[in-house]
Protein backbone atom coordinates (compact mmCIF):
# COMPACT_ATOMS: atom_id res chain seq x y z
CA UNK A 1 0.00 0.00 0.00
CA UNK A 2 2.79 2.29 -0.94
CA UNK A 3 0.89 5.20 -2.48
CA UNK A 4 -2.56 4.68 -0.94
CA UNK A 5 -4.57 5.80 -3.97
CA UNK A 6 -8.12 4.91 -4.98
CA UNK A 7 -8.39 2.17 -7.57
CA UNK A 8 -11.27 2.38 -10.02
CA UNK A 9 -12.44 0.20 -12.91
CA UNK A 10 -15.47 -0.18 -15.17
CA UNK A 11 -16.45 -3.83 -15.29
CA UNK A 12 -16.17 -6.03 -18.38
CA UNK A 13 -17.79 -9.36 -19.25
CA UNK A 14 -14.78 -11.21 -17.82
CA UNK A 15 -14.94 -9.12 -14.62
CA UNK A 16 -18.58 -9.98 -13.86
CA UNK A 17 -18.50 -13.57 -15.09
CA UNK A 18 -15.12 -15.01 -14.14
CA UNK A 19 -12.53 -12.89 -12.33
CA UNK A 20 -11.57 -9.24 -11.97
CA UNK A 21 -8.70 -8.40 -14.31
CA UNK A 22 -6.86 -5.43 -12.83
CA UNK A 23 -4.19 -3.11 -14.25
CA UNK A 24 -0.60 -3.90 -13.25
CA UNK A 25 -0.34 -0.48 -11.57
CA UNK A 26 -2.83 -1.74 -8.96
CA UNK A 27 -0.07 -3.98 -7.59
CA UNK A 28 1.47 -0.88 -5.98
CA UNK A 29 -1.61 -0.68 -3.72
CA UNK A 30 -2.00 -4.42 -3.01
CA UNK A 31 -0.37 -6.18 -0.08
CA UNK A 32 3.13 -7.44 -0.90
CA UNK A 33 3.66 -10.80 -2.56
CA UNK A 34 6.17 -12.34 -0.17
CA UNK A 35 8.72 -15.10 -0.58
CA UNK A 36 8.17 -15.62 -4.29
CA UNK A 37 4.47 -16.33 -3.74
CA UNK A 38 2.18 -15.49 -6.67
CA UNK A 39 -0.95 -15.00 -4.54
CA UNK A 40 -1.88 -12.65 -1.75
CA UNK A 41 -5.02 -12.76 0.40
CA UNK A 42 -6.71 -9.60 1.64
CA UNK A 43 -10.13 -8.37 2.61
CA UNK A 44 -12.45 -5.56 1.59
CA UNK A 45 -15.38 -3.92 3.36
CA UNK A 46 -18.41 -2.65 1.47
CA UNK A 47 -20.48 0.39 2.37
CA UNK A 48 -22.65 -1.67 4.74
CA UNK A 49 -19.68 -3.11 6.62
CA UNK A 50 -19.79 -6.58 5.04
CA UNK A 51 -16.37 -8.21 4.73
CA UNK A 52 -15.32 -10.01 1.55
CA UNK A 53 -12.07 -12.02 1.49
CA UNK A 54 -10.30 -11.74 -1.88
CA UNK A 55 -7.22 -13.25 -3.49
CA UNK A 56 -5.00 -11.41 -5.98
CA UNK A 57 -2.76 -13.59 -8.11
CA UNK A 58 -0.10 -12.87 -10.69
CA UNK A 59 1.52 -14.88 -13.49
CA UNK A 60 5.08 -16.12 -13.49
CA UNK A 61 7.46 -14.37 -15.80
CA UNK A 62 7.67 -10.97 -17.42
CA UNK A 63 4.07 -9.72 -17.58
CA UNK A 64 2.44 -10.38 -14.23
CA UNK A 65 -1.24 -9.77 -15.31
CA UNK A 66 -2.91 -9.49 -11.89
CA UNK A 67 -6.42 -10.80 -11.30
CA UNK A 68 -8.75 -11.13 -8.34
CA UNK A 69 -9.65 -14.80 -8.28
CA UNK A 70 -13.23 -15.94 -8.86
CA UNK A 71 -14.17 -17.39 -5.47
CA UNK A 72 -14.29 -14.24 -3.35
CA UNK A 73 -14.73 -11.78 -6.20
CA UNK A 74 -17.83 -13.46 -7.69
CA UNK A 75 -19.40 -13.58 -4.23
CA UNK A 76 -19.14 -9.78 -4.18
CA UNK A 77 -20.41 -9.48 -7.79
CA UNK A 78 -23.49 -11.59 -6.98
CA UNK A 79 -24.15 -9.81 -3.67
CA UNK A 80 -24.18 -6.41 -5.42
CA UNK A 81 -25.83 -7.65 -8.64
CA UNK A 82 -23.02 -6.14 -10.70
CA UNK A 83 -23.29 -5.91 -14.48
CA UNK A 84 -21.03 -5.06 -17.40
CA UNK A 85 -20.38 -1.30 -17.38
CA UNK A 86 -20.81 -0.90 -13.61
CA UNK A 87 -17.85 0.55 -11.75
CA UNK A 88 -15.97 -0.52 -8.66
CA UNK A 89 -13.79 1.69 -6.51
CA UNK A 90 -11.27 0.34 -4.01
CA UNK A 91 -10.23 2.92 -1.41
CA UNK A 92 -7.32 2.01 0.88
CA UNK A 93 -8.62 1.77 4.44
CA UNK A 94 -6.87 -0.53 6.86
CA UNK A 95 -9.11 -2.27 9.43
CA UNK A 96 -6.92 -4.63 11.49
CA UNK A 97 -9.92 -6.01 13.41
CA UNK A 98 -11.57 -7.32 10.24
CA UNK A 99 -8.26 -7.90 8.43
CA UNK A 100 -9.30 -5.74 5.51
CA UNK A 101 -7.28 -3.18 3.63
CA UNK A 102 -9.82 -1.61 1.27
CA UNK A 103 -13.28 -0.14 1.38
CA UNK A 104 -15.03 -1.16 -1.84
CA UNK A 105 -17.86 0.70 -3.54
CA UNK A 106 -19.94 -0.42 -6.49
CA UNK A 107 -21.59 2.13 -8.76
CA UNK A 108 -23.95 2.20 -11.73
CA UNK A 109 -24.89 5.07 -14.02
CA UNK A 110 -28.45 6.34 -13.55
CA UNK A 111 -30.70 7.70 -16.31
CA UNK A 112 -28.96 11.09 -15.99
CA UNK A 113 -25.51 9.48 -16.55
CA UNK A 114 -24.47 10.10 -12.93
CA UNK A 115 -22.62 7.38 -11.05
CA UNK A 116 -24.59 6.24 -7.97
CA UNK A 117 -23.70 3.69 -5.32
CA UNK A 118 -25.46 0.32 -5.51
Q: Which of 65-74, 93-102, 106-115 has the lowest average pLDDT?
A: 93-102
Per domain, the residue ranges of the chain are 7-117
Tell whether the model's pLDDT for residue 26 goes beyond 50. yes
Q: For residue range 71-104, what is the model confidence (pLDDT) as tens digits? A: 999 999 999 999 999 999 998 887 666 566 889 9
pTM of the entire predicted model: 0.86
pLDDT at 3: 46
For the segment(s) 7-117, the CATH number from 2.40.330.10, 1.10.357.10, 2.30.40.10, 3.40.640.10 is 2.40.330.10
More confident residue, 111 or 36: 111
Nearest alpha-carbon partner for 88 in 1, 15, 3, 31: 15
Amino acid sequence: MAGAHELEKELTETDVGHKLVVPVRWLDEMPPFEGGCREVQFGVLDDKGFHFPLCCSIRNGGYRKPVLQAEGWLRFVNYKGLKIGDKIIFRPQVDHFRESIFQVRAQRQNIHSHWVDI
